[in-house]
């Protein structure tokens, strides 16, 4: 059974990621949150459930998913 993501940490993602509009490395995000990089990867589905969609580009950078109009 996997661990559940911490609600306060998920809120911090939602605050931090928009501060990096071009993208952020998962390792930097992990350092800012005080967690392991693997925790960032495990938290992505929980963020999606909350409606915050992050996409990972070919370089491994995370950014907010925005639909192209």
Where do runs of H (alpha helix) occur along the chain?
Answer: 7-16, 26-33, 37-49
Reading the block at residue 3, the tokens are: 């661990």
The per-residue pLDDT for 68 is 55
pLDDT 10s digits, 12-65 = 999 999 999 899 999 999 999 999 999 999 999 999 999 999 999 999 999 998
CATH class of 7-64: mainly alpha
Domain locations in the chain? 7-64
* Phi-psi label, residue 54: left if phi above 0, alpha if psi -120 to 50, beta otherwise: beta
């Amino acid at each position: 059974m996997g661990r559940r993501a911490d609600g306060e940490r998920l809120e911090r993602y939602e605050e931090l990621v928009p501060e990096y509009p071009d993208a952020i490395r998962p390792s930097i995000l992990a350092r800012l949150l005080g967690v392991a990089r693997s925790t960032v990867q495990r938290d992505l589905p929980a963020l999606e459930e909350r409606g915050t969609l992050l996409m990972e580009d070919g370089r491994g950078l995370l950014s907010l998913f925005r639909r192209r109009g």
